[in-house]
Structure 1
Amino acid sequence: MQTRKANSEDLPAIISLLKVSLGESLIPKSEELWKWKHISNPFGASPMLVADDNGLICGVRVFLRWEFRQGKKLIKACRAVDTAIHPDYQGKGLFKNLTLSLVEELKEEGVDLIYNTPNSQSTPGYLKMDWEKWGKLPLKMHFNLSLRKSKNQTFSDDWSSITPLFDKIENGTYTPEEIRTNLVSGYLHWRYVSCPLFPYHLISDGATYLLIYRIKEGKIGRELRIVDFFELPGFGENEKKQLNSRLKTVQKNNGVRFTSFSGLQYKKELPIELGHMPVMSIGPEVTLRKVANLEDVLNMPWAWSLGDLEVF
């Protein structure tokens, strides 16, 4: 058995392995999704290794390339995402071997850190490989329990009309205090417009603000998940009133039971009105692993959005 870099010819075997190992679950295993996620990514093609047993792909480990920025400082990162081991090869250390081998490759490339949001079953394995728990993402929540559930969801998105706004956002400045996703050219379109997993929607005046959200069905009703929010020069009181009026209309028309937003990006002066409930650490669990000689990654001024940490 050999561990090697994956190539384009391995894709059908990798998709087959994912289905055998993981099943379809909530996220479909398809070449379309794989290509969008690991090839079209504006941060670059994903580094991936496979375990090859005489022509049989029995294991795969993939990290999704990502970049963060704090002012002028660029942080090269990867997100530990797709991994699968064939049932006949599980329990033999392949997952650990593939993961640590890929970490060593990233060291040579100059990647600074790896982050992910593992579930409770996989977290212990990551901790044994020097991942560290950052904690659960704080969330700002607003409940709309008085709203009736709507049978029909209504959207009128025109992404093409805000292409100039995308350009302004992606060419904007970064605050030196907070660490956010590096908005390279094409990122917003890739992440939210062309995503094949679920539809994203927008609220915008086309000039001074952009709120991106998706509707997610849950046990207690529909969630309006604000995955990203951008405020641009020219945003004032009139724009704030318009934004919140439109948000309330979307909540009402779609029978939204609660709205969620990253607590790291929520501030008292934030234009989005989400009631008086305190920010609570109830979001996804984040783990980090240093690759380069960074400062204490657990105490860096992270400002992740929900869009940064969604499973996709």
Structure 2
Amino acid sequence: MHIRRGTQEDIPAIINLLRLSLGESLIPKSEALWNWKHVENPFGPSPILVAEDGGQLIGIRAFLKWEYIYQGKAISACRAVDTAVHPDFQGKGIFTSLTLQLIEEVKSEGIELIFNTPNTKSTPGYLKMGWEKWGNLPIQLHWNWASLFSKNQDAFDSDWDSIPPLIEKLESRPSESSSIKTNLLPGYIFWRYRDCPLFDYKFVTDQEKYLLIYRVKDNSWGRELRICDCFYLENLDLGKVRKDLKSIQKKSGATWVSASGLHLEESLKLKLAPNLPIGPLVTLRPINKDLIPKSLPWAWSLGDLELF
């Protein structure tokens, strides 16, 4: 078996391997999605390792580059994402070999930590490789019982072309948060939400002070309005935000609203309900020996940790 860095020329074979190993599942595999995630990412192209046997691609491991900001200092990170092993070669330690080798490579490139949200099947393997459980993301829920009796659900769209001036202000403003948040590099908001090929993200804004990004999702509990992110400037009118949020909840016909208990409560004080530990399990893998990520004041949004 030969392990090497993945290249642009490998992408078609990588997509085929992902489909063969994982199926389409909840997230369809495509070159467009791969390029959006691993090539166009404003934090930089993803470090990728592939394993070959006799010229055949049999394994893939990718880390998505990310960057956080804390007390004015950027923290370089990666999110452990796409991985697959050919069915004929599973159970031979290829996943572990690829993951551990890629950790060493990104360490030499200045990456300080790796995070991810593994499922119950993959969590034990990550723990054996040095990952630590941070815990489940706390979630705030707010139920809109009136929607159960309402048949009026307006269709509405968000005009992303109307907000570049606000986004420019948001992405150029120095972070003053006392918690760790995603670093808003220029181009991040459009890349993460407008250009995402998987979900139809919408927003509500006053065009001047804040941008609240959400998506509507139908599931077994009813229609969910998921608050994915909220970016804002100083002197924000919280009453206006609450009023706008109530309006889009009504228009969407959402049965319930969900949001990260760390993100909105930390920033906007838009407390919807008591925090419940029902969000995705977050695991962390420290690389910088001087960094203890479990003890840091994280303020993840749901958009930070969604699977994509």
| TM-score, structure 2 normalization | 0.96
Q: Does 1:284 align with 2:285?
A: no
Q: Does 1:272 align with 2:270?
A: yes
Give, as a single letter, the amino acid of the residue that structure 1 aligns with 2:139. Answer: L
Separation in 2, partners of 1:268, 1:116: 22
Give, as a single letter, the amino acid of the residue that structure 1 aligns with 2:226. Answer: R
Equivalent residue runs for 1:183-198 within 5 Å = 183-198=184-199
Query: Could you give the per-residue CA deviations for residues 67-111 of structure 1, whole angstroms, max 9, x where no partner exists?
Result: 000122110000000000010000000000000000010111110
Equivalent residue runs for 1:119-138 within 5 Å = 119-138=119-138
What's the C-alpha RMSD, in Å, of the aligned pairs?
Answer: 1.6
Give, as a single letter, the amino acid of the residue that structure 2 aligns with 1:36. Answer: W
Runs of 4+ in 1 over 6 A off after TM superposition: none
Separation in 2, partners of 1:147, 1:213: 18
Q: Does 1:226 align with 2:227?
A: yes
Give, as a single letter, the amino acid of the residue that structure 1 aligns with 2:304. Answer: D
Separation in 2, partners of 1:194, 1:64: 16
Give, as a single letter, the amino acid of the residue that structure 1 aligns with 2:286. Answer: K
- 1:296 corresponding residue in structure 2: 292
Structure 1 residue 9: Cα displacement: 1.1
Structure 1 residue 233: Cα displacement: 2.5
Separation in 1, partners of 2:29, 2:267: 42
Separation in 2, partners of 1:176, 1:202: 22
- 2:246 corresponding residue in structure 1: 248
Q: 1:140–1:266: 8 Å Cα contact kept in structure 2?
A: no
Tell me, what secondary structure is at the counterpart of 2:196?
coil
- 1:64 corresponding residue in structure 2: 64
- 2:14 corresponding residue in structure 1: 14
- Residue 221 to residue 57, structure 1, CA distance change in 2 (3 Å): same
Give, as a single letter, the amino acid of the residue that structure 1 aligns with 2:138. Answer: P
Q: 1:155–1:201: 8 Å Cα contact kept in structure 2?
A: no
- 2:301 corresponding residue in structure 1: 305
Tell me, what secondary structure is at the counterpart of 1:253?
helix
| TM-score, structure 1 normalization | 0.94
Q: Percent identity?
A: 53
Give, as a single letter, the amino acid of the residue that structure 2 aligns with 1:45. Answer: P
- Residue 208 to residue 85, structure 1, CA distance change in 2 (3 Å): same
Give, as a single letter, the amino acid of the residue that structure 2 aligns with 1:249. Answer: S
In structure 2, runs of 5+ residues without a counterpart are none
- Residue 23 to residue 71, structure 1, CA distance change in 2 (3 Å): same
- 2:32 corresponding residue in structure 1: 32
Q: 2:266–2:299: 8 Å Cα contact kept in structure 1?
A: no
- 1:93 corresponding residue in structure 2: 93
